[in-house]
Every structure is written in C-alpha cells, then in structure tokens.
C-alpha cells in the first residue's frame, strides 16, 4: 500500500484529502504543521507528499526542501492559494512535482496524485531491475554483463508483462531462443506452455498442418481432426522460430493470427480463436527478404512491434569470461572433472576470437576443451587450431611445436581464414577494402572467402 502525507493547517482540507485519498486506496498520514510534516518525511517511508504552501511558521517550502533532501525521488505536490503563482513557480524550480490551486476539484487532485505515483513506481521499478541485473549479471539462463546485454535484460522484463509481439533478431547462436524463453517465463503466461516451431525445418505442407492443425479428410492420411501447435499453445506463448524461412502461404495465415488471433485448420471452415503471445526470431535480414519478395511487409510490421536485437558475441567481449566460467562449471559436472579451471592464456585467446558461431560456438569449444584437457586446467593447446592461432604472433616467433606434432596445412589454412575474417571486420564488411588490407587482388580474396565460406555467399554488389 502506498503512503501519502498530507500537510495542511486547515482541518477541513486535511479531512477532505484524507477521506478522498483513503477511498482511492492509499494509506494517508496527516499533519497540521510544516514542522510535523518535516518530522514525518525525514523519519519514515512516504511515497508522496501533498503540502499546503501557506502554513504558519515554517511553510510548505520547508517541507519540500526537507523531503527533497531526504529522498529526491518522492514526488511533492504543493497546494497554493489562488493568486500565488509566484510561489508555485518557485516550488517547481526547487523540484516540486506539481502544484494545484485552491479551490480544486476532486478529479483534479486525483489525477495529479495518480500520475505522480505512477512515475514513482516506474522509477522504483527501474532502480530495482538495475540492482537485480547488476547483482547477478543474469536473467533466467541468460548471462551477460555488457551494456548491451544488461539493456536486453531490462527490455525483456519490461515486455514480459505485456502481450506485445516481440521480434528477436541476431546471428546464429546469439541466444534468441533463450530470450524468448526468458520472456515467457517472466510473463503471467508462465504456467501455460511456450510452443516453438522452426519454420525452416520442415516442408510447407507439414509446417502448415503442424501449426494450424487439420480437419479429418483434408488430405490423404488425415484420418481424424488434429489440433495444431497454435491451439496447443492457447493461453501461452507461441515461438515462431526462423520466421524468415516461413513460406508465403504460412506468412499469410500468420498475419491473420496476429491481427485477429484467429485461423482455420487445414481443410477446415470453422474459425478457431486462440489467446497467445507471439514471439518471432530470425537470423536473417527481414528487410532484405522483403525487398526480394520473400517476406511480406505487412507481416513484418505486425511482428516488429517490440524488436530485440542481440548483438554478436564479438561486439560484447566483456561477456566472454562470464560465459566461459559458466560453461566450464557446466561441463565439468557432466564430464566428472571436478576442480577444473581455465588458464589465463586460454582465456585471453577466447576473449579475442571472433566467434562467428557466437555463444553456441563458445559453448562447444569449452565442452571439447574439457574433454581434451589432461591436467586440471584448460590450456591453449586444448583449443581448436583456429583459436589457438588467432593468438600467435608469428613475427615474435612464439610458435612451438608440441610433442604430438602439428598439421601444418590445417594450421596455415586456419591462420589464413583468421586473417581474412579480421580483414573483413576491419573493413566493415567491404570486400574490396578488405582485400587491400591483406594485399590480395579482389578476385583471389573473393575466391578465398568462398573457399572458407566466410562473409556470406553473395558478393556485395556495390563493392565490385
């Protein structure tokens, strides 16, 4: 329950406000003087102060001052007499939330009070979220301490309570599915299922009947009515994964689901209503797909109500140690290698690698390293060549030949791959520029990219 302090030397005004605010569900404390009010604001937790400006001896301004000093987040509303605009302005300058002029209407004060408290609640909530996130650097199964991830955590908490459609974008392995789950489990739908469907994983007809269900006789083999996953997720969350891969026919039907929460089963005539929250995810550039006529623009706008973009791991390297330690802990347990840790050298390599497969790739590398490590620490030699080599400074001759020998071919191509990727990164994805950085002709640079499958398959036209 929120507590409101009313300070007014006029008894009738105190009583009026007390009755009215109690009726609104607030806990009301009243005082007849500024001195008493100051005592209250500096000794107990108050959510809102309403004070008359004109009181004998100390005035409302003194109450305002004390309250601001004690807790600047508590809104203070001043009551002024008609014609004392100057003092009101002065109070606002000092930090008063608002003022109302006597005589005022009930609705007027109700509105000001509820607005002030709403703002206070928001501020309070944001502060609490910040603290929570900072303490643990995690949200559900998601870990992250980078500014980008902490902001994503905040956004997740905010949107979880709403029913708004969310579109999660990010490269493969950045944690899109984990974000979708976090939203679901923080929402009030958490006791109902989150159902996901991967639009890229099955042929069109199957995808449709899986999603929307079918009517008996809709096609050969449809021997009975069957509920689709949309119906199964009723009351819960529907996770529309790899949405960029959805065939147009499914996109059209999905649009209707988003607009009306309604659809028909395959072969059915009846409209089926569902109460679902939709979350979609993709690692593709939907705007580009729209341009190419592969994705419906209207569906895009319906999905992109609340966009959450997860940046690639290489753009938030502060998260790497946190993730590494979590994965070490996890795989140490599953491989019964208690007490295992990671050496500083190995950690440094992991922190500097470019992680094209993002968190998933990092997780796999750690699992493999734990299996391979013979001692109690993960060392650089337990990491894949590509990563190991990314830290080798050839000019300083820090290379050593391990007892088991090296596969020179593999090493060199790993190194080449590494340099090509770094050059592309440095050139902001512009291939021509990147080619110059590694002193290759554009032609052979492009050939090598294709050979290693780097930088997507399409040649960037504007560059050529």
Which residues make up the interface to Mg ion (CB under 5 A)?
176-177
- With beta carbons less than 8 A apart as the criterion, state whether 396 and 422 touch: no
Q: Is 144 in the site for ligand ATP (CB under 6 A)?
A: yes
Closer of 208 and 363 to ligand ATP (Cβ): 363
Which does residue 170 touch among Mg ion, ligand ATP, none (CB within 5 to 8 A, set by kind)? Answer: ligand ATP
Where in 309-338 is the site for ligand ATP (CB under 6 A)?
A: 323
Q: Is 139 in the site for ligand ATP (CB under 6 A)?
A: no
Q: Is 380 in the site for ligand ATP (CB under 6 A)?
A: no
On the 0-12 / 13-18 / 19+ scale of CB atoms within 10 A, 388 is: buried
The residue with its CB nearest to Mg ion is 177
Start-to-end CA distance of the chain, whole Å, equals: 66
Q: Is 143 in the site for ligand ATP (CB under 6 A)?
A: yes
Q: Is 245 in the site for ligand ATP (CB under 6 A)?
A: no
Q: Is 174 in the site for ligand ATP (CB under 6 A)?
A: yes
Neighbours of 203 (CB within 10 A): 8
**DSSP summary character for residue 74:** S
Closer of 20 and 202 to Mg ion (Cβ): 202
Distance of alpha carbon 395 from alpha carbon 113, whole angstroms: 70
Distance of alpha carbon 329 from alpha carbon 327, whole angstroms: 5
Q: Is 178 in the site for ligand ATP (CB under 6 A)?
A: yes
Q: Is 172 in the site for ligand ATP (CB under 6 A)?
A: yes
Closest to 52 in 3D by CA, of 26, 33, 38, 68: 33
Distance of alpha carbon 100 from alpha carbon 317, whole angstroms: 52
**Nearest approach, Cβ of residue 193 and Mg ion (Å):** 18
**Nearest approach, Cβ of residue 228 and Mg ion (Å):** 21
User: Which of 157, 176, 192, 431 touches ligand ATP by CB under 6 A?
Assistant: 176
Task: Output the DSSP codes for 2-37.
Answer: -EEEEE-S-HHHHHHHHHHHHHTT-EEEEESSHHHH
**Nearest approach, Cβ of residue 368 and ligand ATP (Å):** 14
Where in 273-292 is the site for ligand ATP (CB under 6 A)?
A: 283
Neighbours of 434 (CB within 10 A): 26
Binding site for ligand ATP (CB under 6 A): 141-144, 170, 172-178, 283, 323, 359-360, 363
């Amino acid at each position: 329950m929120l507590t409101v302090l009313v300070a007014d030397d006029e008894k009738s005004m105190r009583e009026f406000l007390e009755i009215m605010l109690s009726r609104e569900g607030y806990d009301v404390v009243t005082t007849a003087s500024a001195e008493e009010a100051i005592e209250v604001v500096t000794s107990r937790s108050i959510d809102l102060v309403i004070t008359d400006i004109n009181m004998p001896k100390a005035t409302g301004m003194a109450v305002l001052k004390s309250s601001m000093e004690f807790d600047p987040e508590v809104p203070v509303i001043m009551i002024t007499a008609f014609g004392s605009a100057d003092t009101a302005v002065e109070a606002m300058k000092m930090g008063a939330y608002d003022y109302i002029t006597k005589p005022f209407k009930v609705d007027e004060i109700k509105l000001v009070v509820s607005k002030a408290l709403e703002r206070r609640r928001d501020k309070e909530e944001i502060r609490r979220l910040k603290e929570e996130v900072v303490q643990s650097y995690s949200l559900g199964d998601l870990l992250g301490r980078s500014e980008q991830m902490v902001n994503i955590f905040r956004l997740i908490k905010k949107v979880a309570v709403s029913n708004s459609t969310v579109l999660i974008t990010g490269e493969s392995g950045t944690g899109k599915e984990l974000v979708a789950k976090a939203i679901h489990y923080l929402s009030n739908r958490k006791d109902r299922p989150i159902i996901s469907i991967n639009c890229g994983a099955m042929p069109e007809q199957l995808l449709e009947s899986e999603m929307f269900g079918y009517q008996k006789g809709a096609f050969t083999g449809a021997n009975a009515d069957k509920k689709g996953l949309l119906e199964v997720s009723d009351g819960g969350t529907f996770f529309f994964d790899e949405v960029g891969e959805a065939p147009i026919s499914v996109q059209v039907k999905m649009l209707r689901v988003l607009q009306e929460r309604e659809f028909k089963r395959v072969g059915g005539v009846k409209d089926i209503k569902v109460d679902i929250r939709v979350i979609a995810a993709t690692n593709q550039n939907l705007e580009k797909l729209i341009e190419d006529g592969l994705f419906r623009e209207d569906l895009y706008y319906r999905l992109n109500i609340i966009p959450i973009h997860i940046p690639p791991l290489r753009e938030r390297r502060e998260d790497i140690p946190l993730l590494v330690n979590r994965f070490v802990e996890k795989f140490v347990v599953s491989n019964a290698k208690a007490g295992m840790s990671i050496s500083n050298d190995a950690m440094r390599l992991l922190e500097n690698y470019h992680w094209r497969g993002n968190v998933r790739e990092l997780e796999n590398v750690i699992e493999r390293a734990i299996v391979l490590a013979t001692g109690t620490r993960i060392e650089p030699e337990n990491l894949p060549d590509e990563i190991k080599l990314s830290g080798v400074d050839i000019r300083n001759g820090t290379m050593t030949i391990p007892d088991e020998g090296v596969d020179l071919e593999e090493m060199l191509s790993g190194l080449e791959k590494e340099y090509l990727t770094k050059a592309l990164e440095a050139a902001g994805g512009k291939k021509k520029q990147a080619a110059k950085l590694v002193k290759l002709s554009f032609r052979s640079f492009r050939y090598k990219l294709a050979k290693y499958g780097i930088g997507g398959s399409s040649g960037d036209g504007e560059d050529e």
